Amino acid sequence: MQLIENLKWRYATKKYDTSKKISSEDLEKIKEAIQLSATSYGLQLFKVLIVENKSIREKLRPVSWGQPQITDASHLLVFCSYDDVTDKDIEAYIDLKAQTQGLKVSDLKDYSDFMKMKMKEKSADEKQSWTAKQTYIALSNALNACAELKLDSTPMEGFEPESYDEILNLKDKGLKTSVVLAIGYRSEEDDTQNTKKVRKPLGAIFEKI
């Protein structure tokens, strides 16, 4: 199983080679892996910002605990979740589903009404927590895609979400920063690549019932 070998190869890169950039072809593959991520109801209530602007990345670094990956990695992906879930979001998905699968929107009315009902049962905080969780599924797909392409990656939660939201003007877009992913090529000077991966044994993680 090549996936296992890929996962053994990857690690959270600490120092990137600033002279190397990810090709547009590889970036498209990562984007497609993210696009194909599983999400609750298939709603895909997230957006991924690919931050290429150097000045913006310089602004993000101080509010990311000063971590160099923010500015030094080839690309910086900011996974954002929807701040709210509205009837319009659900209707947009129903329209897309009908168009993609050759159905009538009216055929999906019961499903649409069910989703709207479930959303109304959630508080604002519950909806924000729920949409944020979806971004981590997409993040996992991105990590796996990078490993297969032999691209290095660093998933990051060490940042100030409110500052990210402000710098990236996310409030006006109805989005909140959830998690960040730096991707690129490891530096030869990154000593972390030579350390053994630390994981609990299988017996400590799995239990038969």
110-134 tens-digit pLDDT: 999 999 999 999 999 999 999 999 9
Q: Do 8 and 99 sit in the same domain of this protein?
A: no
Looking at this protein, which amino acid is placed at residue 85? Answer: V
142 domain-assigned: yes
Going by C-alpha positions, the residue among 48, 201, 60, 7 that lies closest to residue 137 is 48
Q: Do 30 and 114 sit in the same domain of this protein?
A: no
Q: Do 131 and 70 sit in the same domain of this protein?
A: yes
Q: Do 13 and 42 sit in the same domain of this protein?
A: yes
Q: What percent of the chain has pLDDT over 70?
A: 100
> In the chain, how many domains are there?
2
DSSP line for 112-164: HHHHHHHHHTS-HHHHHHHHHHHHHHHHHHHHHHHHHTT-EEEEE--S-HHHH
Report the pLDDT value the prediction gives residue 77, as an integer from 0 to 100.
Answer: 99
Does the pTM surpass 0.95? The reply is: yes
Domain hosting residue 91, numbered range = 86-121
Q: Do 13 and 109 sit in the same domain of this protein?
A: no
What rounded mean pLDDT belongs to the chain?
98
Q: How many CA atoms lie within 13 A of 164 on its CB side?
A: 24
95 domain-assigned: yes
Contacts of 177 (CB under 8 A, 6+ apart): 78, 79, 80, 159, 161, 164, 165, 168, 170
11 domain-assigned: yes
Q: Do 12 and 106 sit in the same domain of this protein?
A: no
Q: What is the mean pLDDT of residues 178-191?
A: 98
Report the pLDDT value the prediction gives residue 159, as an integer from 0 to 100.
Answer: 98
Going by C-alpha positions, the residue among 53, 81, 76 that lies closest to residue 155 is 76
